[in-house]
Chain A
């Protein structure tokens, strides 16, 4: 049964996408939404059925479906093959269920857009690509989904292509992820040459058997890490994600929550055995993750655009996942991925609903007091914000963040013999990140929903949009209780689900760690209340144009740095090649030759012409003279005879 259902799971949104693309402009917006939701909904149902099938089997069991062999050559083989194990099960549930909720929301949100068929075609294709990526049991097959996700993100970010800003953002996202794709492909080629197959099980078995030389393994892991960093918008590739806000809001929700950016996290979690053998790369992953947490949070703290705050918060939250992956607690990363998908989708969809009802106003300082006019959306946004901040006990974000923090604490990296990196330091950074997270998201909440009202609002949020919001609220609040911190009642459903054999009991973990993780978000909330929330807040307006603020608001000037570092030199190079000195020499020589040959030709033509002209005129003149001689007058003839005779005689005698 799994052999049939696995391809069907991918085929269902793919078919919806094909129908929508082919029928673009011929069916009504309502029908378009129905088809898209049906496609994704069917795959959600199938994924639930598959999960039940998988969980009812043995603990290490998996469902496999090999559709057809792709290529079989000497030394290498690849198949179009899909596999469902516990890791991908979590992913398909997240992708299809969150994707379905977003689609239902978007069916209402995009109802009046003329390009609605194209939009849903891309969205369903996005989901299908993500499912290919998640289910592929062959890394080359995974790469198809990887590229498909990149393509769909490009199409959707540049959906409103009338505006050059949007297409520029789409191109930026495409280029940035493309760099990572190239690195990823390099890593795949390294693995393929070392192992002879890119089948994930074969690769991991070869890695654990020690078939691959450590240097090659480290290089491959590094390349794959670069690919994952680019896809998940981590340092140094983080710049594309804030610009990706140019797309429609459901797209942002889909990219940030369910599909695109989680691909990198999933990839590393999928290959965690490989990364476990490459200690330096693991350390790099953890450090980059920790840096990204702080950087994303700091940048989000000074943004004034509602969607940009959420974008930077996504980058920051993905940093948590990478930190967890780097520390080897990939279960925690997947857990946080899941809860993050819930609350980030909730936040984005709520933000979209708010923006629609306030005449497309995204500046949080022009919004304000919205809790009076839209209490339902306020409740949804506050729920999402609490989950993002990780307010203790009641939200999903708390449990997943706690799992990451407790996994980071005992981590220990031995880079070289002398140099070691202690997990305590990274833990501290993550904790600071948690504080900042609570601070920036509640800053946003207090400014947008409290205080005096800023803008007029209109209409009601349609029922079709409220249903997904409600579902996501519930998931954001309750999605986390399946995995408790160790000091709490021993409820570890999630880690037991992923890795039934291992027992994650950090017995040596001090109890105050959990306490710190619980207190810090509350502290952030309190500070945010003092600064922005009180009736007479400390900061109401955007703090002045201090250099630090301006620097941070542009994403730490990374864009400008890249512009100086890569774009300008490249432009200079192209300028140089356009104004090539050799080119000039060759062109100059050519021009000179042409001029010379032209003048030679002209001179020759002129000379011959003149000569001919002279010749003809001379002949004509002679002719005329000779003609005059022959005038028919006898006396003249006689005179000529006499003259000629005299001349002849004179010559004969004088010589």
Chain B
């Protein structure tokens, strides 16, 4: 099995994080924004895993499980918000229309 160096892992995580961040900032569809957020969380989890492999510690993999749960919760909450908005009579997925709190 090929072994990745920790640097390669960090590079991949950074790329993933950047892609996720770009997705959050660029896309206006809230579904895609949630997906991009999951990508960012996965990038962070990848760093934990890589770090656990690097220092031969199981705590990294434990953190990955926590982040996985967090991502699931986050997706659930996000989807619930989108459904609530639909229920309140805002049948749109555009994030920019929800700017009523603007200063």
Contacts and interface: CB of A to CB of B under 8 A. Distances in A.
B91 interface: no
B4 to A, nearest CB: 24
A630 interface: yes
A635 B25 contact: yes
Nearest to A623: B103
A643 to B, nearest CB: 10
Given A638-B24, A642-B21, A642-B25, A631 B103 contact: yes
B1 interface: no
A459 interface: no
A639 B25 contact: yes
Contacts of B26: 635
Contacts of B103: 626-627, 629-632
Given A642-B21, A642-B25, A635 B101 contact: no
Nearest to B24: A638
Interface in A610-655: 626-627, 629-635, 638-639, 642
Contact of A632 (B21, B28, B100): B100
A631 B26 CA distance: 16
A626 B24 CA distance: 23
Contacts of B25: 635, 638-639, 642
Interface size class of chain B, counting residues whose CB lies under 8 Å from the partner chain: 10 to 19
B22 to A, nearest CB: 10
A649 to B, nearest CB: 12
B96 A633 contact: yes
A630 B102 CA distance: 6
A635 B24 CA distance: 7
Secondary structure class of chain A's binding surface, majority of residues: helix
B21 A631 contact: no
B78 to A, nearest CB: 11
Contacts of A627: 103
Contacts, number: 36
A635 B102 contact: no
A638 B20 CA distance: 12
Interface in A558-578: none
Interface string B17-32: 0000100111010000
Nearest to A646: B21
Contacts of B99: 631-634
Nearest to B103: A630
A635 B21 contact: no
A635 B95 contact: yes
A632 B101 contact: yes
A632 B24 contact: no
A639 B95 CA distance: 14
Interface string B75-101: 000000000000000000001101111
A633 B100 CA distance: 9
Contacts of A631: 99, 102-103
A21 B51 CA distance: 131
Contacts of B101: 632
A525 B96 CA distance: 139
Contacts of A629: 103
Interface in A84-132: none
Contacts of A632: 98-103
B95 A633 contact: yes
A634 B24 CA distance: 9
Nearest to B30: A634
Interface in A527-583: none
A632 B100 CA distance: 6
B81 to A, nearest CB: 11
B19 to A, nearest CB: 13
Contacts of B102: 630-633
A653 to B, nearest CB: 14
Interface in B9-64: 21, 24-26, 28, 33
A172 to B, nearest CB: 94
Contacts of B33: 634-635
A630 B101 CA distance: 8
A103 to B, nearest CB: 109
Nearest to A627: B103
B28 A635 contact: yes
A635 B99 CA distance: 10
7 contacts: A632-B101, A633-B96, A634-B33, A634-B95, A634-B98, A635-B25, A638-B25
Interface of B: 21, 24-26, 28, 33, 95-96, 98-103
Nearest 5 A-B pairs (CB), nearest first?
A632-B99, A632-B102, A630-B103, A632-B101, A631-B102
Given A638-B21, A638-B24, 11 more contacts: A627-B103, A629-B103, A630-B102, A632-B98, A633-B95, A633-B99, A633-B102, A634-B96, A634-B99, A635-B25, A635-B96
